[in-house]
Every structure is written in structure tokens, then in C-alpha cells.
Amino acid sequence: MSQPADTWILAAQCPSRLGTVDVVTRFLKGQRCYITEQQSFDDRLSGHFFIRTEFRPEDEGFDAETFREAFSARAAEFAMTFELTAPGARMPVVIMVSKADHCLNDLLYRYRTGQLPIEIRAVVSNHPDLEPLAAWHDLPYHHLPITPETKAEQEARVWRVIEETGAELVILARYMQVLSSEMCRRLSGRAINIHHSLLPGFKGARPYHQAYDKGVKLVGATAHYINDDLDEGPIITQGVEPVSHADYPEDLVAKGRDIECLTLSRAVGLHVERRVFLHANRTVVFSR
């Protein structure tokens, strides 16, 4: 499901209390805004409430700043934080890669065809291999090699690219380097990683070959926000594909690549459409 071209998105969260839905719906009615889609969830364990609303102003001359100011005053009564996203907004992103091209290629295709509402500002890599692919899409490519001795310097250069491009989201599309604790802190809630879901059982090199040797019957992928725990950040979405004794290691690798592409693109789409809410180390994800 894609967002209609004329609808705004209001995404908000606050402590659970009486009137949390009403504070949004009553305000929108007062502003003569028609609700076209709404999802909400109250987490009874954490005592926290989440709501996402798509709406269409009925009157011409809708002013976003006036809306924000008026709603801020109302939301403050509920300790509610919110984001307002304009119709047709395209989130600026930086994609980080190493040598594998499948996830990057998939994201570039969905970007080029308009399936993902993103604006790719740059591609960053610790290898030169994928520069021709970025060049074909007329995208800046930053080859920033890294060694254990130059890690801090390389990450500082990566951060400059992120800041200079105004990227609001960083996509680790099979970037095979572990980010430092400081980089994870800086990118908290705004960097998405993808990895195969054979972890933690099959760590290290050739995980699909390890899985084949054990006769696994499922392969999959997990897309998550990064944090300081390797591959253990808050999960956004997961995908799975059945396999059988007839699938050889190369078949598992191929199926794994396909599900990685699909799972990553879904996670990016959910994030940029403001369907993902972070709370502590968990996510609330509203479906598309």
C-alpha cells in the first residue's frame, strides 16, 4: 500500500492515559482534516501508547508550521512527542556497502522506479568495487578504505559525508564492517542494518555452507536498527524462506540474497513512512 499523494502523516507516542486517541482525532477534526488511515497500539507492559495517522486537509492553505505549533500545545498535556510528514516527502539517505551488490542493486531499482520514497545522497564503501553501479545511477560514490589502525579516521570521514549530505537515514546494505560504539551512538534510531537470520547458530565465514552441513530447513534475514550489540539491535522486520535437502549451498546463498533484499527494502519503506516506533530496545511496527 502506498501513501496517497495528498495525505500528511502524523506519528506520535506518549505515556498511556485516557484520551490518547481523542487528542489526535479531535484536534484533526478541529483543523478540518479528514483521517484517511489510522493505526494505534497501547503497550500494557511498558505503559506507552503509539499512534500513526494519515490525513487530508479539507481546506486550501494548510500551513504546517501553524499546525505544529497548535498541536504541540495540545500534545504537551499528554507528554506526547510527534512527527509531521508532508505529502510526497522523500527522506535523504546514505547507503553503505562493501563488495556484495545485491542489496544495493535492489535499493537502487526501487529508488529509480519510485517504490521507495527516499532520496539517495551518496554511496559509501570501504571497497571500490561498486563504484560503476553507483555511477550508472549518477550517484556520488565515496571510497573510504579502512584498517584497524585507520578506523577512527575513516568513520570521521563517513560522518562528514552523512552531515554534508543531510542524510536522515543510513542504510547498511551489506556493509561488512563493525561500527564503533561512538558511531552507533550517533546513528541511534537512524541506521538500518541487514543480516542473515542464521545467527547466532552459524557465525563467521560461509554461514550458508555451515547451515547446509546441519541440514537447516529455513533461511532468512533480519533488518534492524544498529546499536552497540553486534547484530542485536531493535528488529524492524524479518523474512524467511523454506529450503530442503535438494538445496545445495549455492542455492541457500541465492535464496538468502533474495530474502535479504526484500527484508531490507521493507524495513526502509516502513521507516521512511513513519510506521516504526522505537521504545527502549523494542519496536512497534504498523503494517503497510
Q: How far apart are CA 50 and CA 282, in angstroms?
A: 13
Q: Is the torsion defined by CA of 259, 260, 262, 267 positive or negative?
A: positive
State yes or no: is 129 an active-site residue.
no
Q: What is the DSSP letter of 130?
A: T
Q: How far apart are CA 272 and CA 13, in angstroms?
A: 17
| H-run or E-run covering 211 | helix 207-214
Report how far apart, in Å, the C-alpha atoms of 168 and of each of 39, 50, 164, 191 are. 24, 22, 11, 9
Q: Catalytic: which of 101, 228, 231, 258?
A: 231
Q: What is the DSSP letter of 111?
A: H
Residue environment code for 87-120, b if the CB has 16+ CB neighbours within 10 A, otherwise e:
eebebebbbbbbebbbbbbbbbebbeeeebbbbb
Residues classed as catalytic: 231
